[in-house]
Amino acid sequence: MDLFVSAVIQGVLLGGLFAIIGVGLSLVFGIMGLTNIAHGDIMILASFFIMVFSVQMGINLFVALAITIVVMVVIGAAMQKFLINRVITKGAEPALLVTFGISIIIQNILTLIFNADSRIIKGPFSDVNVVSTNWVSISAEYLMNCLVAVGVIIALSLVMKKTYLGRSIRAASSNVTAAEFMGVNTLKTYVYAMCIAVVTSCVAGLLVGQTFVFYPYSGTQYLIIAFGVVVIGGMGSIVGTLLGGLILGVSQLLGALFFGNGYMILIGYIVMLVLLTFRPRGLLSNMARK
Amino acid sequence: MKLEGLDVFYGDFQALYGVSMEIPKGKIVSIIGANGSGKSTLLNTIMGVNRPKAGTIDFEGKDITRLRTSDIVALGVTISPEGSSVFEDMSIEENLLMGAYLPDPRKRRQENLARVYELFPVLKEKEQQLATFLSGGQRQMLAIARAIMSEPKLLICDEISLGLAPVVVKDIYRKIREINEMGVTILLVEQEVKRSLQSSDFSYVMVKGRVVMQGLSAALPETEVKDAYLGINKYA
């Protein structure tokens, strides 16, 4: 019983982290129907930037994050404006191939510069437990990850609901032509949406980078997590990613508890397949009409 | 607005043949035509969704033929598209606020919101509901109200009577007249001959991608317009 409670708590905390890994993928898919294959690599690229600024150059971690966000937004905007927007009007498939190319480029550039060594960002909370009893312990780092992730996702959903930027993104997701009829330049909206997705990836990159070791090729592994989260929660639904993250996190840790660590990832994706059997569009999809 | 010699193709198929029209400021102009007469193609071409192979579109002395849809809208040309194009997963209020997306109308969005609620009280009642729960007539009203929110100089109404109860249609046409009296030029696009002639100053009849008849609405004989519309004898 103790172990069970412990696994559920850890799963929820891990789930928050998973959610923020997935939220950018969901946003980009929701607005332009594009599955961004480079999503995980963009996050890992952010992890490397933060690592260079904070670990190698000794800049304060939060300043390092701020600089990284600025750099990454410029990269993300350029990528959307000069590469993806050129092909997105021809359908989602050519754009998907472009992001596949971007993924390979990021991985290879990172390998070229940093070799295949493992890295980690040293955070302020490593090895601190907030709760530590005989039967359950919660690491400050996991708790922090979850709180930050949930905070960012709530902030994002408020932006989507309350601001003209958010509304124009939702309008463009709902009906591109109608959005243009309102005077929304949807290609610009795509750039803004990609920038927002990149900002969430920078935060995710910091959280992941200080929790797990990462390599230039780690992006793919996180892309798969993001996929799981977004598919369970429902493509395009921001709140859905939170739910998807929690379900994936909890089922992975319960899987590890009952079947052993080796089965952790497998169980997570079996749960995903079972859920998809009953809700093929995900739990909170807003794509039902398409 | 002035259209001149518009030729539009879908692949090898020619949908419009040298369409020329004039829509004078402050007037109500109607385009009458059956399904497949090229009305929708024409509207899409005006709005920059389709590109003409030949011809020009001029709005207030500016050539808008090659502009992007959102830039055409920014100049003051707004369309109330067929009802299906409301933003389904947004509330009525959010739909209306999207109408006031451009910088100038955005500054006056609260006044404009009050104005359209006065025009369409039913929308005010359902302000917080998602648009997906609206009936066909209410969607049509929302689409028109949303278009007005952008403070258009020229408002294009695409088949606003399609599939609606006659009472509702009558009501909507009265609103259109009110909007026109506020100084907005109106372009009505309809299948219904009688109503179009009654509610406009000037009419164009389109058959198979061509303008076959035009004139002051009051002067056009209804029976002849109907013949033309149906493609009977000389107009075919």
| Block residue for tokens 């249609």 | B169
| Per-residue model confidence (pLDDT) at position A289 | 38
The string of DSSP codes covering B186-222 is: EEEEES-HHHHHHH-SEEEEEETTEEEEEEEGGGS-H
Instruction: Kindly list the domain boundaries of chain A, sorted by start residue.
Output: 2-289
The torsion angle over the Cα atoms of residues A207, A208, A212 and A215, rounded to 10 degrees, is -140
* Residues B162 and B147 both lie in one domain: no
Dist. CA A75–CA A93, nearest whole Å: 22
Q: Residue A196 is which amino acid? A: I
| Per-residue model confidence (pLDDT) at position B165 | 78
Test A180 with B150 for CB contact under 8 angstroms. Answer: no
| Per-residue model confidence (pLDDT) at position A116 | 85
Test B98 with A168 for CB contact under 8 angstroms. Answer: yes
**Per-residue model confidence as pLDDT tens digits over B168-220:** 788 888 888 988 998 999 999 988 888 888 889 999 998 888 888 888 888 88
Q: Tell me which chain A residues have a C-beta less than 8 angstroms from the C-beta of B86.
A: 178
Q: Residue B152 is which amino acid? A: P
Q: Residue A48 is which amino acid? A: F
Name the token pair of A205.
């990159």
Q: How confident is the model at residue A74 (pLDDT cuts 50, 70, 90)?
A: very high
Dist. CA B212–CA B21, nearest whole Å: 12
Last-in-domain residue among B125, B151, B177: B151
pLDDT of A290 over the 50 cut: no
Q: Residue A105 is which amino acid? A: I
Tell how strand B210-216 and strand B54-59 pair up: unpaired
Q: Tell me which chain B residues have a C-beta less than 8 angstroms from the C-beta of A179.
A: 98
| Per-residue model confidence (pLDDT) at position A237 | 85
Nearest CB among A167, A177, A179 relative to B94 is that of: A167
Test B73 with A183 for CB contact under 8 angstroms. Answer: yes
Name the token pair of A234.
């429902």
- The fold for domain A2-289 equals ABC transporter involved in vitamin B12 uptake, BtuC (1.10.3470)
pLDDT of B235 over the 80 cut: no
Q: How confident is the model at residue A72 (pLDDT cuts 50, 70, 90)?
A: very high
Cβ–Cβ < 8 Å for B192, B61: no
| Per-residue model confidence (pLDDT) at position A12 | 94
pLDDT of A49 over the 50 cut: yes
* Residues B200 and B190 both lie in one domain: yes
* Residues B147 and B165 both lie in one domain: no
Tell how strand B54-59 and strand B202-207 pair up: unpaired
CB atoms under 10 Å from CB of B12, counted, come to 5
Against a cut of 0.90, is the pTM above it? no
**Per-residue model confidence as pLDDT tens digits over A130-188:** 776 766 778 888 899 999 999 999 999 999 999 999 999 999 988 899 999 999 999 99
Q: Tell me which chain A residues have a C-beta less than 8 angstroms from the C-beta of B98.
A: 167-168, 171, 179, 182, 184
Which DSSP state fits A65? H
pLDDT of A93 over the 50 cut: yes
Residue B179 within any structural domain of the chain: yes
The number of distinct structural domains making up chain B is: 2
Domain that holds residue B142: 88-151
Cβ–Cβ < 8 Å for A22, A229: yes
> A119: which strand partners?
A214
pLDDT of A114 over the 60 cut: yes
Reduce the DSSP state of residue B8 to 3 states and report it. Answer: strand
Dist. CA B29–CA B24, nearest whole Å: 8
pLDDT of A288 over the 70 cut: no
| Per-residue model confidence (pLDDT) at position A264 | 86
Residue B81 within any structural domain of the chain: no
Question: What are the CB-based long-range contacts (under 8 Å, 24+) for B42-45?
Answer: B42/B3, B42/B6, B42/B8, B42/B16, B42/B189, B42/B206, B43/B79, B43/B156, B43/B158, B43/B189, B45/B6, B45/B8, B45/B16
* Residues B60 and B9 both lie in one domain: yes
Considering chain B, what is the average pLDDT of its residues?
87
* Residues B33 and B140 both lie in one domain: no
Q: Residue A216 is which amino acid? A: P
Measured in angstroms, the CA of B228 and the nearest CA of chain A are apart by 32
Interface of B with A (CB under 8 A): 47, 49, 68-71, 73-74, 78-79, 81, 85-90, 94, 97-99, 101-102, 106, 146, 150
